[in-house]
Amino acid sequence: MVDLVARARDGDSDAWAELVRQFAPLVWSICRQFRLQDAECDDVGQNVWLGLVKALPRLREPAALPGWLATTTRRECLRVVAAGRRRQAQEKHVDVDVEDERLAAPEHNLVAEELYAALRAAFAQLSPRCQQLLTLLLEAETLSYAEISTRLDMPVGAIGPSRARCLARLRKCRELAAWIEAETRRGGA
């Protein structure tokens, strides 16, 4: 991830594509939480990504990326919602202060979206072995340890400890560690 930001900053479009792959779901889901239309989401997305290209040189701490994206997307969504309200007010000659449920995107949902983005980024940094194991564990609750053992060529007895080890590594990945730290500060612990 350190790598991705640094590489994108140096003009590597593959690194940018990987950042987009990891973080487009974050930007998109926040737009959805504000109940934006598709065209409004595109508008927000364009501003967020262009903003990120410009911010790349300043992003010294790549672990801050999920938070930066969440905050920027939220701000852009609020801008779009406010513009929509102004238009509505003009049409209907109503007070601009009219209640708009679109502004009420719950804060804790945004925190959750940020968490998911951090988890995706952290997951992408795990070893292929850990990724495979966790994917199998998730994909198939019906899959027995015996079947997982066969597919990964791993002794059944090693699955439990490996699962714990991979999840411990996940927690230590900088994006997730940064989220946990922020959440602890927010008092969500």
Partner 1 sequence: MVDDRADRWWSDDDQLLSALDQAIHPAEDVPDGFVRTALACFVWAGIDADLAALAYDSAVDLTELANTRAESAQLRALTFEAADLTFELEVTPDGLAGQVIPAHGGELQLQLSDGTATTVRLTEHGYFRIRPTPVTPFWLRYRFADGRTISTDLIVL
Name which of 27 and 148 has its Cβ closer to partner 1. 27
CB within 8 Å of 69: residues ≥ 6 apart: 23, 26, 27, 48, 52, 117
Q: Considering the complex, what minimum distance in angstroms separates the CB of residue 10 from partner 1? A: 11
- 116 versus 154: smaller Cβ distance to partner 1: 116
Reference 119, options 185, 167, 71, 87; nearest CA is 167
CB-wise, 60 or 187, nearer to partner 1? Answer: 187
12 φ, ψ (degrees, to nearest 5): -80, 110
Residue in 40, 104, 101, 95 with CA at minimum distance from that of residue 73:
40
DSSP state of 11: T
Nearer to partner 1, 49 or 68 (CB): 49
CB of 15 to partner 1, least distance (A): 9
User: Which ranges of 34-173 does DSSP label H, i.e. alpha helix?
Assistant: 38-55, 65-92, 107-125, 128-139, 145-152, 156-172
Taking the complex as a whole, the smallest distance from the CB of residue 112 to partner 1 amounts, in Å, to: 4
Q: What is the CA radius of gyration of the chain?
A: 20
Q: Which residues bind partner 1 (CB under 8 A)?
A: 8, 11, 13, 16-17, 20-21, 24-25, 27-29, 32, 38, 41-42, 45-46, 49-50, 52-54, 87, 90-91, 108, 111-112, 115-117, 119-120, 123, 134-135, 137-138, 163-164, 167, 170-171, 180, 183-184, 188-189
Please state the closest distance from residue 143 (CB atom) to partner 1, in A.
14
CB of 180: closest distance to partner 1 in angstroms?
6
Contact 48, 75 (CB under 8 A): no
